[in-house]
Amino acid sequence: MQLFHDVANQIKCQPLIDWKALNRPVVGYTCSQVPAEIFHAAGILPIRMRGIETDGMDIGDAYYGPFICSFPKCLLQLVGKGAYKFIDGAVITPGCDAMRRLDECWRKAGEDYDGIIPGFFYYFDVPHKAEGHGMEWFVEEIEYLIAEIEDYFKVTITDENLRAAILEYNKGRRLLSEIESMRTSETPVVSGSDMFAATIAGTVMPRAQYNEELTQWMASLSQSPPMENVRKRIMLIGSITDDPDLIRLIETDTDAMVVAENLCFGVRSEGRPVDEDADPISALAEHYLGESTCPRMYGRYKQRLAVLKEKIEQSHVDGVIMQNIRFCDLHGAENALFEKDLEAEGIPCLRLEREYGPMIDKGRLKLRINAFLERLGRGRKYASSN
Amino acid sequence: MSIVAGCDVGSLTSKAVIMKHNKIIGSFILRSKPRPRDSADAAVKGALDAAGLALEDITYCIGTGYGRDRMAFADHSVSEISCHGKGAKWLLPSARTVIDIGGQDCKAMKLDSDGQVERFNANDKCASGTGRFLEVMANVLGMDINELGPLSRKARSPITLASTCTVWAQADVIKYLNSGTPIEDIGAGVNTAMAKRVAILANTVKPEGDVLMTGGVAKNMGVVATLEKLLGLRIKKARRADPQMAGAIGAAVMAYEEITSRVLEN
């Protein structure tokens, strides 16, 4: 478990260092809709790029301007400072317009900062609809990506390689799902912040090593006693976050636990297996686009609301905290709709707008979270002594 | 019967209240010091002195405000949002909507019949609708913040402050001063700008029932009157105690409820 926290809390983590020490390539990608199995099949380590450890915004602000989501700005800041110089390739996607612009801003910054554009720099288009020609388009995009990887890295990605990669990734997904059920149960044995750190680690670590760590962790959890003092069960949803500290802020010094989430870096993307029997490219397309519950997809609000309601019921959630990064139109607008619909069904909700970064708004957020938890505690005593 | 205390260490002022039989027997307010613990100590000492009591006489104490987790003597801490709801209920039992303007934040709350917060919203993007905004403007006008309310009543042609940013509004106020605009017209413009910001926030919780304002700005009649016009609602006055003490009162009421429930349980 400690390894998962180490990986989740630093970009240059040990598994990555060990991988690079063997002269093996690493490709960074920016969105949960990029099929990591493709890189794995090519012997490349795919890592999801994160904005943690950002200590300023001079580069991000210079190319992006102030009124935009701080997540891609943090990525660009780190790129400009050379924090990602170890990657051999980068894949940018239109996860949202701010993320799409990372492609342009990164290229432009590359004119001013030497060596920040990796040799393989690829724009991977992702449609906003999965139906009909949207899915055909996505399948084509995957095929283009495979061809480019083969060409640049001088590798061959076969259906057999892809099938093996899908099996390996599914192994991790199934383990995560089992651990997730230990967290969402009425007597959870794993905290929200531990679970989230483990899920983030899955986007960075070599898959075989990750699966091994998950197996060991699950074995230890099966011997663990239920967590004490879990009186308020929280679900966390909304904008991208890759920082377990946000969950820690909810769980520390309170009797609350994040028993469920619907986050881009969370089990939302990692909890379901890819079809192992179908054509591998079609199966990946169906998984990464067809099952997407991200608000960047058009016309799927009802589906996303249903996903939340199902999770709320399964996890016995007392309240939902919905956060969004400032200037995030997608999650900002959707959170307002979720709040209206969930509150109408008697599910208490708290909406938080925040900046992405190493817990920039900690004091402000903690006040609102505490007040929300006190609301959930109605009818209970206020106090147990310090 | 037990004596309880509530202590609210805010960003600008710190307040403490001592209660016995659910009645205030001592209170104190001071400008917050750099360290929350020092503010809390001074506030409680002042309130205890006013009540003629010592720290040992307090059975239970709840802390609130930004310094709520740094009070050596507090038995428990509760967010100021919950405390202001409870304090508002104590100040005006019929209150169902509370608008609290603190030093650096502004909150609107809907209460249930027990004074529990059902729904709340707080300023997110900037501090222009807070006490700090008024304090900065009063500073520029060279007067005490308490003079802003009475001053605006004398206004004949209040100015309009287009910007909601405290710093830019300050530049506008200086410009009006330089151009010879009567100070009461500037003061009224400042109060109106403040009320407009607060009204936007208050409307998000759909105010209804009896509305009460808490926090120091509740004593500024210029802001209150404009807010009433903007919301189309009467804002009730807290007559039972100083509305600026609402957070500390709420904390003390919760402390009282806590020991009462303990007695009943035993």
| pLDDT tens per residue, range B125-169 | 777 788 889 999 999 999 988 888 898 888 999 999 877 788 889
Residue A192: strand, helix, or coil? helix
pLDDT digit string, tens, across residues B162-210: 777 888 899 999 999 999 999 999 999 999 999 999 999 999 999 999 9
Mean pLDDT, chain A, rounded, equals 93
Joined together, the tokens standing for residue B119 give: 């729904």
**Mean pLDDT confidence for A379-386:** 35
**pLDDT at residue A382, rounded to an integer:** 37
- Answer with the residue of higher pLDDT: B251 or A1: B251
**Mean pLDDT confidence for A180-208:** 95
Q: What confidence tier does A361 reach under pLDDT thresholds 50, 70, 90?
A: confident
Rounded to two decimals, the pTM is: 0.90
**Which of B62, B124, B201 would you mutate first to test chain A, the one with the most A CBs within 10 A?**
B124
d(CA A341, CA A347): 9
Would the ipTM clear 0.90, i.e. be above it?
A: no
- Answer with the residue of higher pLDDT: B261 or B58: B58
Inter-chain CB proximity A367 and B76 less than 8 Å: no
- A 360-379: CB under 8 A from B: 363-364, 367-368, 370-371, 374-375, 378
Which residues does chain B have within 8 Å of residue A326's beta carbon, measured at their own beta carbons? 125
d(CA A85, CA A264): 25
Q: What confidence tier does A271 reach under pLDDT thresholds 50, 70, 90?
A: low
**pLDDT at residue A386, rounded to an integer:** 27
**Mean pLDDT confidence for A189-217:** 96
**pLDDT at residue B70, rounded to an integer:** 79
Inter-chain CB proximity B258 and A383 less than 8 Å: yes
Contacts of B126 by beta carbon, 8 Å cutoff, 6+ apart: B164, B165, B166
**Mean pLDDT confidence for A56-69:** 93
Joined together, the tokens standing for residue A321 give: 């905290």
| A216-230, A358-372, B24-38, range with the lowest pLDDT | A358-372
A385 has pLDDT over 80: no
Strand segments, DSSP code E, in A267-369 are 319-325, 349-354
Residue A129: strand, helix, or coil? coil
pLDDT digit string, tens, across residues A290-330: 988 899 999 899 999 999 999 999 999 999 999 999 999 99
Comparing CB atoms, the residue among A326, A378, A385 nearest residue B76 is A385
**pLDDT at residue A384, rounded to an integer:** 32
A383 has pLDDT over 70: no
Inter-chain CB proximity A385 and B261 less than 8 Å: no
Residue A27: strand, helix, or coil? strand
Using CB atoms within 10 Å of the CB of residue A340, give its burial: 0 to 12 exposed, 13 to 18 middle, 19+ buried.
exposed
**pLDDT at residue B1, rounded to an integer:** 59
CB pairs under 8 A between A and B: 58
pLDDT digit string, tens, across residues A6-47: 999 999 999 999 999 999 999 999 999 999 999 999 999 999
List the single residue in B with minimal CA-CA distance to A363. Answer: B66
Q: What confidence tier does A380 reach under pLDDT thresholds 50, 70, 90?
A: very low
**pLDDT at residue A379, rounded to an integer:** 41
Closest Cα to residue A230, out of A184, A181, A176? A184
| A145-154, A337-346, B127-136, range with the lowest pLDDT | B127-136
Q: Smallest CA–CA separation between B77 and chain A, in Å?
A: 8
The tally of CA atoms less than 13 A away on the side-chain side of residue B22 is 10
Using CB atoms within 10 Å of the CB of residue B142, give its burial: 0 to 12 exposed, 13 to 18 middle, 19+ buried.
exposed
**pLDDT at residue A226, rounded to an integer:** 93
Mean pLDDT, chain B, rounded, equals 91
Joined together, the tokens standing for residue A284 give: 């990946």
Q: What confidence tier does B37 reach under pLDDT thresholds 50, 70, 90?
A: very high
Comparing CB atoms, the residue among B66, B257, B258 nearest residue A363 is B66
**Mean pLDDT confidence for B83-111:** 94
Comparing CB atoms, the residue among A363, A374, A385 nearest residue B82 is A374
Comparing CB atoms, the residue among B105, B118, B258 nearest residue A381 is B258
Inter-chain CB proximity B116 and A368 less than 8 Å: no
A270 has pLDDT over 90: no
